Structure 1
Amino acid sequence: MPATPARRATPVRSLVRFAAFVAVLILGWILPIAAMRPAVGQPAAPAAPAAPERLDTCPGLVSRTSPRIVPAAVVPAALAPDQARVTYIGHSTFLIESPRQVRVATDYNDYVKPPVVPDIATMNRAHSTHYTLSPDPGIRFVLHGWRDDGKPAGHDISYQDVHVRSVATNIRDWAGGTARHGNSIFVIEVGTLCIAHLGHLHHTLTPQQVSEIGRVDVVLVPVDGSYTLDLEGMIEVIAALKAPLMIPMHFFSRYTLDRFLERVKSDYEIEFAETPTVVLSKTTLPAKPKFLVLPGR
């Protein structure tokens, strides 16, 4: 019997369906590959850089843990040409930064150290907490406040926008006598400010020393009243220098600090800062002489 038209059409329909199925398979394979190829005329994207082997080799990391997220407000702002940033690290060590990012660390030692390597480090030799015999090799200028031959240290250097000079003072030696020129007061000129770090001062200043120090805007003052100069003597030094702003240091405990502040509060304004860092300029200096207490020890 001859085939009906419906049965003759069945192979054709099957062939069409099979062809469509094959086309879908081919397109499903080709299109994803084409999408991954770069467009004509555009260079292929560079491969992602390999991750470093050790995270602690990255600049600024202080530990081998994951990097911390630092709020934008914590990042130090750039300084104006007339400003200086002063951070109390502890004991007698301050980090002083200039508008051109020159860093000076005072009484640099192995125990209380700033978080960055300074460009300039000043030292005094009263105790090992005021100097080191193995300073970081990255420090450009290491300034000892003494000389082994007993002569004044006599530092006078300029680096970028910072000028540092020293004024020699005497110091008590371990035998109870006097070591001439064994300590230095360092005067740091930065921005438009003159900042004097008294070091481990053991006596009041002579008129010649006051003249050599000259006009200063900020004095970093040891206030322990025993290891350095006694309270009355230190108050005499402050009065002779006539600086508008004093920042206490070398006080070991809150008791020692309060004892000194109690003694001076009738003559000087006292302000307690919430953070150990302050940005100073000539225009922000107080009209009346003041002690600014930065958190530290």
Structure 2
Amino acid sequence: MVRIFIRRLLEVALFVLFVTFVSFLFVRLAPGDPVLTILNVDELSVSQEEVETLREDMGFNKPLLVQYGHWLLDFVRLDFGVSYVTGQPVMDMIMKGLPATLELTVGSLIVMLIVSIPLGSLAALYRNRWIDHLSRILAILGAAIPSFWLGLIFIDLFAVRLNWLPTMGRDGFVSLILPSVTLGLAISSVYVRLLRSSLLDSLSQEFIRAARARGLSEKRIFVAHALRHSLPPVITVFGVSLGSLIGGVVVIEVLFAYPGIGKLVVDAIRQRDYPLIQGYILVMALIVFVINTSVDLSYRYLNPEMKLGERKANG
């Protein structure tokens, strides 16, 4: 256990070092000059001397590796800097918007589970029946329709025409319905067909026939054996597609004017707010890393064969 813990710590350290360096390099090499944005050169008359003075004060005249070294030292001290635009600490801004993003992410996952598990299970149980064909059609439509276009349809139907739900802001559970359903339906198409395929494979295994021979009920066989055995591939794909889920959250937050960190970073990119962009990338990368690690650890519970193999390998 200690060896696994030490290995995880080394993985985290290398992961953070790689992500921070690559993100720092890409952000600094992106077009645009934050100094000109800060000075509002489009609205004010600013001399070149003032521009160069501010650039020197902010350290932009130093080599990129030196700038990265200074930023990394601040990060080790848990100092993410301050926003160029608002002057507020970056971590405070991220922590302020993170709950809204987590709410939207959890809401989307709940919608995805509500749609995927019943539909994928029914498609497997009633293979080549009308429910299976319906799930295939819905999966194709879900994969083909972009989430932002689906969101626009929902806004026009439920907010503009029917006036049932709000279109923007974060004002309780009602404001969460449209963005969560939009993103949840957009990502559920993959998991419906994946769960169906995994369940069909599980239902054909020897242990299912052995469970039936022991007289277990079909409901218990399905829930306790087939469904559990079919979850590892689904969780694997979820871990891999987590990045696209976070990207979808950003799009949906902008579309519905939802005040999460996705909308915050889009504004930061437009304003060349380097500290806020880097803080967002690092926080999201750590969240993805933690979730993927949790996915790996969950295999030990969902797949006893893996745990048994580890015991045999360790002697």
TM-score under structure 1 normalisation?
A: 0.21
- Structure with the higher fraction of residues in helix conformation: 2
Which of these two proteins has the greater Rg computed from alpha carbons? 1
- Structure with the higher fraction of residues in strand conformation: 1
- Which structure is higher in RCO with an 8 Å CA cutoff and minimum separation 6? 2
TM-score under structure 2 normalisation?
A: 0.20
